[in-house]
């Protein structure tokens, strides 16, 4: 077997952290190679070096046996390396064709480009309309735009950074069919993910990174997911246990909420009804951008609705603001950690005050009780194992996982009657995610109602008692998670989002 | 008693084009700057700097054309200070822009000390021969100096640049999402700096048009808020070049009309007439861009956000 890309001793250090330490491996033409690792293991830095966005401190790369040291993405693309980004590198206000033209060195005339887009997208079973605005597309379709952009340049190596994190199971199937076809045609694929079952289904070889170092390689088809996970985390994993609890009285009720979107690419909620009982966890699944943020805003009180639409213990609360709802015991933690759940440049103490002020009585007589606030912040830090030098540090200085533990912990410790969380473990490493889930389950077992909005279906199946799907602003009826299969969940999520199914010839 | 017959509509249209040209130039420059994702509030300061640079050089050289070049250059240099501070040193765009205005006002007053009361060399209208003799149209379209036509050409050019060229697409992309543009390998800072300097040059031309054609002499603070109205026009025109033209001409038109009304002895208080161009222009443009969802679509999504390339 020949070698397409060979990495030899790649090292990259940032102040205070070695992102990659002596990383070496090889990829053959047509091979689907997985790069596995937790957040912060150095996967992103490594592929940025291959794509020319970051220069290695030391080490060499060779492509087709020749030295390969791209100084910028343009050089990497010219050499046949293409990349599909984790956070889409797309421009929402521009059309599909414009977006694709931006990623090409010498794009053809607009009309011809549109023709090529239609042609290539049909060949690979990823139909796309070149004239549509990207802001109007679903996550799966957006990813198609990126993939087509890469394919039009006839790449030898396609790098995919967490491509399935925003896709429904059916969309994942379509993607895999395309990738297998590409691989059969001789295109090598470097596939980054931490979803082990997907890697087992798709990849020929895997390199596992931990703390910037290669800690192992394996053939995924012959390795169990558990073995790979333990290589990845470096310790034996404890599985979270679903606490047994009986559902109590209805504590929160939403009746036919319709809410037009306030932003151009937002989603309008249509006729959303839900019911939450004490002691249960309601999981709301769905790909981000289908109304999750709008639903959370309506529940938290950021968006006011007519007062009889939302009832909390039979009181009409639709017109109440966030602090009034907090006082009653309805708390929430939004998805965006920096800037929504926490003020980035304020200290953890100040951030603790911002939502804790009402229930923890941190400002009796309208003066802030700093001593009490600091104690509260310290309690959150201690209870939830937030890694930070202390509560005087700015929220911005915490890593994503640690800040997430802090903002969830801050709400849980206020002993809410109802807690609504949006994407509680997004971008959080496995062990932190496990502890957050455990905290939410413990909270439910004390008799509180919990709503988890998440796009991680495995997570919802694991912790939620009932599951419902949010798709294009509509909420499905809920079903107990015990007897749901992955396929049924996928269909509840709108299948492949009305996308044409792949016809790969 | 008001005598409306003294207002000649043809002269009115011809003079509104002259009155609107400074704002039009400044606004089209700022449109490019904002499309690249930078909010430069220093338009007023760049205009007045252009006004004095153009005036000094035109007086010293005797050539208004060289004066206009000097105005564009001077204001572009001033704007590059803003570019360096905000793009390289990541200073706050709003505060830096305001400081640029104050700095420009002070600097121009200092530079212009020996030039008060001097008359600038004349910029004469272009001669279109017979075309200029056509009734109505001749006076309106073919009686102006070259800067008026340049400003119209800039509007058309900017529209075509943003709509049809690859460079225009890249510029819009940088303003839409600098992170995505950076990930694709575009030089965000370089593109923005060029946009800022183009905006500075346009504002400088606008300022020089005031001091060399419209007035034409130097007085301190002579831009008198034109830069601010240019900024407002860009926003309310939803970042669309032809609407900028509409907004600027509307503003110029009402300015000229209210001056005429004052001269005709209208019974409306002078203060109300003087504020009318500002109020009516903004009102009309607000109504045009009333659909918030559509207006938000044309706004550059990363407008005013600092860009720092991680890694």
pLDDT in tens, B8-54: 888 888 889 999 999 999 999 999 999 999 999 999 999 999 999 99
pLDDT tens profile A477-495: 888 888 887 777 777 876 5
Among the partner-chain residues A74, A92, A264, the one whose CB lies closest to the CB of B185 is A74
Question: Of A233, A265, A286, at which residue does a domain stop?
Answer: A233
The answer to whether A103 faces chain B, any CB pair under 8 Å, is yes
Contact check, Cβ <8 Å, A72/B185: yes
Average pLDDT over residues A356-376: 90
Q: Are A52 and B170 an interchain contact pair (Cβ–Cβ within 8 Å)? A: no
Asked whether residue A353 carries a pLDDT value surpassing 70, the answer given is yes
Q: Is the pLDDT of residue B100 over 90?
A: yes
Q: Would you kindly state where each structural domain of chain B is located, as residue ranges?
A: 8-125+141-298
Q: What share of chain B is helix, strand, coil (3-state, %, to 5)?
A: 75, 0, 25
Q: What percent of chain A has pLDDT over 70?
A: 93
Q: Does A74 touch chain B (CB under 8 A)?
A: yes
pLDDT at A245: 57
Identify whether residues A298 and A155 lie together within a single domain: no
What pLDDT score was predicted for residue A504? 42
CA-CA distance, A256 to B139, in Å (whole number)? Answer: 64
Is residue A218 assigned to a domain? yes
- Across chain B, mean pLDDT equals 90
Confidence of residue B191 (pLDDT cuts 50, 70, 90): very high
Residues ≥6 apart with Cβ < 8 Å to B263: B6
User: Token digits for B23?
Assistant: 């704002």
B8-125+141-298 CATH, one of 3.40.1350, 1.10.730, 1.10.3470, 1.10.3210 = 1.10.3470
The count of domains in chain A is: 2
A412 in a domain, yes or no?
no
Residues A244 and A189 in one domain: no
CA nearest neighbour of A193 among A36, A44, A394, A416 = A36
Given this model, what pLDDT does residue A189 score? 94
Residue that finishes a domain, picked among A174, A207, A233 = A233
Q: Is it the case that residue A89 has pLDDT exceeding 50?
A: yes
Q: Is A101 on the interface with B (CB under 8 A)?
A: yes
Same domain, yes or no: A42 and A174: yes
pLDDT at A503 exceeding the cut of 50 = no
Same domain, A175 and A287: no
Question: Which domain range does residue A92 map to?
Answer: 5-233
Residues 6+ apart with CB under 8 A from A193: A34, A35, A36, A162, A163, A164, A199
Taking CA–CA distances from B302, the nearest residue in chain A reads A91
Which residue in A has a C-alpha nearest to residue B170's C-alpha?
Answer: A102
> Is A64 in the same domain as A204?
yes
Q: What's the mean pLDDT in A101-129?
A: 86
Element (H, E) at A290: none
| Per-residue pLDDT at A246 | 66
Residue of B nearest to A92 (CA): B176
Characterise A22 by phi-psi region: left (phi > 0), alpha (psi -120 to 50), beta (else).
Answer: left
pLDDT band with cut points at 50, 70 and 90 for residue B296: low
Q: Are residues A195 and A311 both part of a single domain? A: no
Reported confidence tier of residue B311, pLDDT bands at 50, 70, 90: very low
Touching A: B residues 242-301, CB under 8 Å: 293-294, 296-298, 301
Identity of the residue in A74, A90, A264 whose CB atom sits nearest the CB atom of B296: A264
Percent of chain B predicted with pLDDT > 70: 95
Within 8 A of A13 by CB-CB distance, chain B residues are none
Indicate if A72 and A151 belong to the same structural domain. yes
Model-level pTM greater than 0.90?
A: no
Among A43-52, A253-262, B87-96, B283-292, the least confident range:
B283-292
The CA distance from B67 to B60, in Å, is: 9
* B189 reaches A (C-beta below 8 A): no
- CATH number of the domain where residue A84 is located: 3.40.50.300
Domain-ending residue, one of A208, A233, A258: A233
- In this structure, the answer to whether residues A42 and A180 fall within a common structural domain is yes
Are the Cβ atoms of A85 and B183 closer than 8 angstroms?
yes
Res A422 pLDDT > 50:
yes
**B199 min Cα distance to partner chain A (Å):** 23
Closest residue on chain B to A108 (Cα):
B166
Token pair listed for A175: 């993607």
Distance between CA A481 and CA B280 in Å, rounded? 60
Same domain, A256 and A159: no
Q: Is the pLDDT of residue B156 over 90?
A: yes
Convert the pLDDT of each residue in A181-240 to its tens digit. Answer: 999 999 999 998 777 788 888 999 999 888 888 988 889 888 887 788 778 777 655 555
The reply to whether A410 falls in a domain is: no
> In this complex, which of B176, B296, B297 lies closest to A91 when CB atoms are compared?
B176
Q: Is A72 on the interface with B (CB under 8 A)?
A: yes
Residues of B within 8 A of A53 (CB-CB) are 183, 185, 311
Q: Measuring CA to CA, which residue among A205, A137, A125 is closest to residue A167? A: A137
Residues A52 and A20 occupy one common structural domain: yes
């Amino acid at each position: 077997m020949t070698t397409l890309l060979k990495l030899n001793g790649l090292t990259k250090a940032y102040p205070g952290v070695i992102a990659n330490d002596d990383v070496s491996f090889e990829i053959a033409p047509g091979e689907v190679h997985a790069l596995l690792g937790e957040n912060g293991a150095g996967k992103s830095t490594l592929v940025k070096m291959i794509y020319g966005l970051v220069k290695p401190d030391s080490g060499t790369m060779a492509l087709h046996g020749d030295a390969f040291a791209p100084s910028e993405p343009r050089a990497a693309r010219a050499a046949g390396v293409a990349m599909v980004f984790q956070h889409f590198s797309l421009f929402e206000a521009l059309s599909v064709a414009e977006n694709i033209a931006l990623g090409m060195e010498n794009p053809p005339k607009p009309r011809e480009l549109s023709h090529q887009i239609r042609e290539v997208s049909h060949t690979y079973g990823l139909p796309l309309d070149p004239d549509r605005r990207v802001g109007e597309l679903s996550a799966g379709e957006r990813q198609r735009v990126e993939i087509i952009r890469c394919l039009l340049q006839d790449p030898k190596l396609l790098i995919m950074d967490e491509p399935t994190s925003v896709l429904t199971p059916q969309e994942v199937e379509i993607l895999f069919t395309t990738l297998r076809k590409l691989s059969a045609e001789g295109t090598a694929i470097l596939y980054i993910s931490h979803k082990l079952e997907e890697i087992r289904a798709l990849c020929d070889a895997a390199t596992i990174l931990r703390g910037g170092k290669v800690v192992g390689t394996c053939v995924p088809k012959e390795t169990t997911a558990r073995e790979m996970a333990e290589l990845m985390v470096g310790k034996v994993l404890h599985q979270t246990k679903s606490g047994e609890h009986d559902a109590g009285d209805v504590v929160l009720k939403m009746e036919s909420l319709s809410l037009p979107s306030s932003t151009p690419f937002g989603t309008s909620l249509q006729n959303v009804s839900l019911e939450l009982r004490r002691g249960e966890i309601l999981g709301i699944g769905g790909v981000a951008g289908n109304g999750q943020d709008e639903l959370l805003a309506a529940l938290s009180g950021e968006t006011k609705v007519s007062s009889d639409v939302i009832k909390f213990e039979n009181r009409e609360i639709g017109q109440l603001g966030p602090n009034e709802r907090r006082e009653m015991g309805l708390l929430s933690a939004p998805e965006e950690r920096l800037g929504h759940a926490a003020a980035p440049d304020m200290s953890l103490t100040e951030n603790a005050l911002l939502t804790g002020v009402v229930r923890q009585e941190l400002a009796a007589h309208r003066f802030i009780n700093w001593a009490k606030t600091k104690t509260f912040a310290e309690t959150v830090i201690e209870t939830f194992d937030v890694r930070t030098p202390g509560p005087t540090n700015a929220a911005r200085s915490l890593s994503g996982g640690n800040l997430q533990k802090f903002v969830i912990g801050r709400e849980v410790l206020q002993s809410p009657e109802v807690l609504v969380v949006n994407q509680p473990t997004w971008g959080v490493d496995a062990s932190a995610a496990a502890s957050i889930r455990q905290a939410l389950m413990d909270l439910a077992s004390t008799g509180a109602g919990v709503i988890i909005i998440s796009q991680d279906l495995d997570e919802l199946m694991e912790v939620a008692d009932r599951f419902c799907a949010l798709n294009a602003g509509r909420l499905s009826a809920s079903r107990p998670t015990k007897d749901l299969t992955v396929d049924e969940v996928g269909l509840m999520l709108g299948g492949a989002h009305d996308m044409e199914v792949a016809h790969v010839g | 008693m008001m005598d409306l017959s003294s207002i000649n509509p043809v002269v009115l249209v011809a003079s509104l084009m002259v009155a609107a040209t400074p704002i039009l130039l400044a606004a089209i420059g700022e449109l490019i700057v904002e499309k690249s994702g930078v909010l430069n509030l220093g338009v007023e300061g760049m205009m007045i700097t252009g006004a004095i640079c153009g005036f000094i050089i035109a007086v010293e050289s005797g050539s208004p054309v060289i004066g206009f070049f000097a105005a564009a250059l001077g204001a572009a240099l001033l704007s590059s200070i803003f570019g360096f501070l905000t793009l390289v040193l990541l200073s706050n765009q709003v505060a830096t822009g305001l400081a640029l205005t104050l700095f420009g006002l002070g600097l121009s007053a200092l530079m212009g000390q020996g030039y008060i009361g001097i008359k600038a060399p004349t910029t004469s209208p272009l001669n279109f021969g017979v075309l200029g003799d056509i009734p109505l149209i001749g006076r309106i379209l073919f009686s102006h100096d070259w800067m008026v036509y340049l400003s119209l050409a800039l509007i058309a050019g900017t529209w075509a640049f943003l709509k049809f060229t690859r460079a225009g697409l890249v510029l819009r992309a940088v303003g839409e999402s600098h992170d995505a543009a950076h990930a694709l390998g575009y030089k965000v800072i370089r593109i923005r700096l060029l946009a800022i300097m183009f905006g500075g040059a346009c504002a400088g031309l606008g300022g020089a048009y005031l001091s060399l054609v419209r007035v034409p002499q130097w007085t301190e603070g002579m831009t008198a808020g034109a830069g601010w109205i240019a900024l407002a026009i860009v926003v309310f025109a939803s970042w669309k070049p032809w609407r900028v033209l509409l907004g600027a001409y509307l503003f110029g038109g009402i300015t000229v009309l209210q001056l005429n009304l004052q001269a005709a002895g209208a019974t409306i208080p002078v203060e109300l007439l003087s504020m009318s161009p500002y109020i009516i222009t903004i009102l009309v443009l607000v109504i045009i861009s009333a659909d918030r969802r559509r207006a938000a679509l044309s706004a550059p999504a990363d407008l005013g956000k600092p860009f720092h390339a991680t890694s």
